[in-house]
Amino acid sequence: MEGGASARHLYSRDGSIITAGRVGVVCLPDSTDQVAACVRIALDHGRAFVPRGAGTGLTGGAVPCDDPVVISTTRMDRILEVDVDRRIAWVEPGVVNLDLTRHLEGTGLHFAPDPSSQQACTIGGNVANNSGGPHCLLYGVTSVHVAAVEVVLPDGEVVVLGEEEGEAAGYDLRGAFVGGEGTLGIATRIAVRLTPDPPEIRTMLLDFSTIEEAAATVSAVIAAGIVPAALELMDQQVVRAVEPFANAGYPLDAAAVLIVEIDGLAAGVEREIEVVARVAHETGARTVRVAADDGERDRIWKGRKAAFGAIATIKPSYYLHDTVIPRTRLAEVVSGVNEIADRHGLIVMNVFHAGDGNLHPILVFDDREPGVMDSVFAAGEEIVRLSLEVGGVLSGEHGIGLEKRRFMPLLFSPASMEAQRVLRDAFDPDGVANPHKVLPSGSSCGDIKELPEVPEGVWV
Amino acid sequence: MSRLEDFRDRVGSSGPVCVRGGGTRWLVGGPPSAGSREVRAPSGVVSFDPAEMTVVVGAGTPLTELTDALSEHDQEVALGAAPGATVGGVLAVGWSSLRRARIGSVRDALLQADCVGANGALFTAGGPTVKNVSGYDLCRLLVGSLGTLALIGQVILRTWPSPERTLWMQGPSTPEAARDACYRPSSLLWDGRLVSVCLEGYGADVAGEAAFLAANLGFSEMATAPTLPPHRSRWTGLLPEGGLLEVGSGVVHGPVAVDARKPEPGVAGLAARVRSGFDPEGRLNPGRDPYRIAA
Ligand SMILES: Cc1cc2nc3c(=O)[nH]c(=O)nc-3n(C[C@H](O)[C@H](O)[C@H](O)COP(=O)(O)OP(=O)(O)OC[C@H]3O[C@@H](n4cnc5c(N)ncnc54)[C@H](O)[C@@H]3O)c2cc1C
Please check whether residue A401 is in contact with residue A437, taking contact to mean a CB–CB distance below 8 angstroms.
Answer: yes
* Interface contact B127-A393, CB threshold 8 A: yes
Chain segment B211-228, per-residue pLDDT in tens: 999 999 999 999 999 999
Instruction: For strands A69-72 and A49-52, give the pairing.
Output: parallel
Query: Which of A4-8, A228-232, A303-307 comes out lowest in average pLDDT?
Result: A4-8
A428 contacts chain B (CB < 8 A): no
* Interface contact A219-B205, CB threshold 8 A: no
All structural domains of chain A, each given as residue ranges with its CATH number in brackets, are 1-197 (3.30.465.10), 200-310 (3.30.70.2190), 314-399 (3.30.70.2740)
Please name the residues between 281 and 320 in chain A that touch chain B, using a CB distance below 8 Å: none
Mean pLDDT of the A427-456 span: 73
Q: Which of B108, B130, B141 sits opposite A357 (nearest CB)?
A: B130
Which candidate, A189, A176, A175, A187, places its Cα nearest to that of A425? Answer: A176
Confidence at A442, pLDDT banded by 50, 70, 90 = low
Nearest CA in chain B to A413: B123
Shortest CA gap A6–chain B (Å): 33
* Interface contact A327-B133, CB threshold 8 A: no
Output the pLDDT for position B57.
Answer: 98
Using the 8-state DSSP alphabet, how is residue A372 labeled?
Answer: H
Please state, rounded to an integer, the average pLDDT across all residues of chain A: 93
Output the pLDDT for position B35.
Answer: 85
Ligand 1 centre to CA of B184 (Å) is 29
Q: Which residues pair with B9 in a beta bridge?
A: none
Ligand 1 centre to CA of A368 (Å) is 28
Query: Which residues on chain B are in Cβ contact (under 8 Å) with A161?
Result: 267
Spatial distance between the Cα atoms of B205 and B199, rounded to a whole number of angstroms: 9
For A131, residues 6+ apart whose C-beta sits below 8 A from its C-beta are: A113, A115, A121, A125, A141, A142, A397
CB atoms within 10 A of CB A241: 23
Chain segment A26-60, per-residue pLDDT in tens: 999 999 999 999 999 999 999 999 999 999 999 99
Query: Which residues on chain B are in Cβ contact (under 8 Å) with A418?
Result: 123
Spatial distance between the Cα atoms of A52 and B266, rounded to a whole number of angstroms: 24
- pLDDT exceeds 60 at position A146: yes
In terms of Cβ atoms closer than 10 Å to its own Cβ (0-12, 13-18, 19+), residue B241 is exposed
Output the pLDDT for position B295.
Answer: 45
A360 contacts chain B (CB < 8 A): no
- pLDDT exceeds 90 at position A98: yes
Output the pLDDT for position A314.
Answer: 82
Mean pLDDT of the A354-383 span: 93
Spatial distance between the Cα atoms of A266 and A278, rounded to a whole number of angstroms: 19
Using the 8-state DSSP alphabet, how is residue A197 labeled?
Answer: P
Please check whether residue A48 is in contact with residue A69, taking contact to mean a CB–CB distance below 8 angstroms.
Answer: yes
> Which parts of chain B register pLDDT below 50?
294-295
Please check whether residue A239 is in contact with residue A334, taking contact to mean a CB–CB distance below 8 angstroms.
Answer: no
All structural domains of chain B, each given as residue ranges with its CATH number in brackets, are 3-26+33-161 (3.30.465.10), 165-254 (3.30.70)
B51 contacts chain A (CB < 8 A): yes
Output the pLDDT for position A446.
Answer: 57
Query: Which of A342-351, A414-423, B244-253, B255-264 comes out lowest in average pLDDT?
Result: B255-264
Ligand 1 centre to CA of A54 (Å) is 7
- pLDDT exceeds 50 at position A457: no
Spatial distance between the Cα atoms of A153 and B27, rounded to a whole number of angstroms: 33
**Ligand 1 within 6 A of A56 CB?**
yes
Which amino acid is located at A16 in the chain?
A: S
A36 contacts chain B (CB < 8 A): no
* Interface contact A169-B291, CB threshold 8 A: yes
The sign of the dihedral angle between the CA atoms of B170, B176, B180, B183 is positive
∠ CA A19-A21-A27, rounded to 5°: 135
Which candidate, B189, B195, B252, B198, places its Cα nearest to that of B219? Answer: B195
**Ligand 1 within 6 A of A152 CB?**
no
Output the pLDDT for position A135.
Answer: 94
Spatial distance between the Cα atoms of A96 and A102, rounded to a whole number of angstroms: 10
Radius of gyration, alpha carbons of chain B: 20
ipTM: 0.96
Residue B160 to residues A228, A311, B54, Cα–Cα distance (Å):
12, 36, 9
Which candidate, A117, A178, A184, places its Cα nearest to that of A157? Answer: A184
**Residue A130 Rama label (left phi>0; alpha psi -120 to 50; beta):** left
